[in-house]
Structure 1
């Protein structure tokens, strides 16, 4: 499974995203003002296709990490 754990800063209201399902759930509880940003819209679309193949899951992981990084929430 290519979706490896993503650690987020506490300001994001999540500690760790372990799967595409976790990422989807996290985004569905996100404020609309965040979710309407282009990087989160791209992440939502990529995650909705994550189950289609391993490549899609890898793309979803990369897109989610990029969106979290754009917000400054990614814990390095």
Structure 2
């Protein structure tokens, strides 16, 4: 039986990710870009979005980039 996916607004998913993880969301030309601290954090965020919202991380964020540590 096919599962019907409830429409969950992208902005809601982004806010939930920001609350659940210490990450930054950058906006470029109206598109959300995830800034993460480590590959492990990205994997956790990816799993969270998939398990909680049944969405791929790139369906929510235009791209994901690793933070550059301050020098």
Q: TM-score, normalised by structure 1?
A: 0.34
Highest RCO, 1 vs 2 (Cα 8 Å, sep ≥ 6):
1
Q: TM-score, normalised by structure 2?
A: 0.36
**In terms of Rg, which structure is larger?**
2
